Structure 1
Amino acid sequence: MDVLEKTLAAGIDTLGLAVTDTQQALLLRYVALLHKWNKAYNLTAIRDPEQMVIRHILDSLSIAPYMAATHCLDVGTGAGLPGIPLAILFPEKQFSLLDSNGKKTRFLIEAQMQLKLTNISVHTERVEQFKSDRLFDGIVSRAFASLKDMVTGCEALLSPTGKLYAMKGIFPEAELSQLPKHFIVEHSHTLSVPSVEEARHLLLIARH
């Protein structure tokens, strides 16, 4: 077992997730693709594969226990985070990956083909212009600067009972008062990402 396998397996164990050997192998193949394409496409500031496992894969998987949605939109997905790790973990759920950067979505299409992920679709578009033939019961993002921006940008794509999954660093106390009045934070979870000391939080936002 090499360093990446050990780091991933130990992290998954710490998170308490049930991940098959096949899924772990897919996650590591995704890291290998990300590392390879990153040199030309500048997909992430993280260059070291072990740090990719920690700060991208394990960070993405840390929200898995709270992901009740079955049709998910990942807005500003970048290199496919958290969408691709979650799609590997949950083959029964559908994930639409949205990013306006064509280089990044070209990588996503390549990753989809290489990993044979049939439960993702890739879209090159800004969220404000994105048209979908269905509403999503879950919209997740690591990309938005503020909760208000996330609600404003995603509201039209969210099903009536759907939830926004906002991944943040420190708890965004100052942003709560800026939320549109018809949305509330239903739950907030402190995320413990193995080998990451910085604060991580997940906020579940819904209409009220």
Structure 2
Amino acid sequence: MILPIGPLVNGAAIVAGGLLGLALHGRFPDRVRATMFHALGLSILLIGLKMALTGNAPLLVVMSMLAGAVAGEILDIERLMARAGDAVKAHLHSDNALFTDGLVTASVIFCTGTMAILGSFDEALKNDHTLLFAKAALDGSVALILATTHGAGVLLSCLPVALYEAALVYLGATAQGYFTPDRLTQLTAVGGLLIVAIGLNMLGLLKIRVANLLPAMVVAVVLAPWFG
């Protein structure tokens, strides 16, 4: 049994960054926190664009996004995540209106990046934790900023992130021949578009149900062999 060290460290970093963000919450004027949040949104938008432009099969991206959108809306993943967040919020007796949004936004940001996938596979295939440790440092910083505006919901994103990355570690160990560099490139392009959507949401330009687009990444993995 593989011990998913990287995912555990990543989850701990999110909690640490989130706790620091909560501690600093009252020390920043609203205008400073708002500008920091917009700066983070712009940064995430840039990262997503860079990821999306690495793809070399635009038709695969289009098909994955459309099929993923249909599947995600049928499953209504966003509503399921929101209900889970609301249940936790009620259990904790939180009065923060952004609690659930913080949980969902942080979870999607931390789960859809390339480093989560490649880092988990590196840990599974090479016993190399470098990428996930680097991601932990980045996620901790993002959690700090998000927690200053969205509160404790950001901390709880450590659970889906750690579980997701641990699942990828075990998947990588059992299906190491399937995820070729070319297929990972296509997956990165689709994931990049999801990151772009998050950035647009954070900037208040649109309100995209990003969680309902998550099945697009599964579709991309399925279609990738035909677009090698």
Name the TM-score, length of structure 1 as normaliser.
0.29
The answer to which structure has the higher strand fraction is: 1
Larger helix fraction of residues? 2
Output the TM-score relative to the length of structure 2.
0.27
Give 1 or 2 for the bigger CA radius of gyration.
2
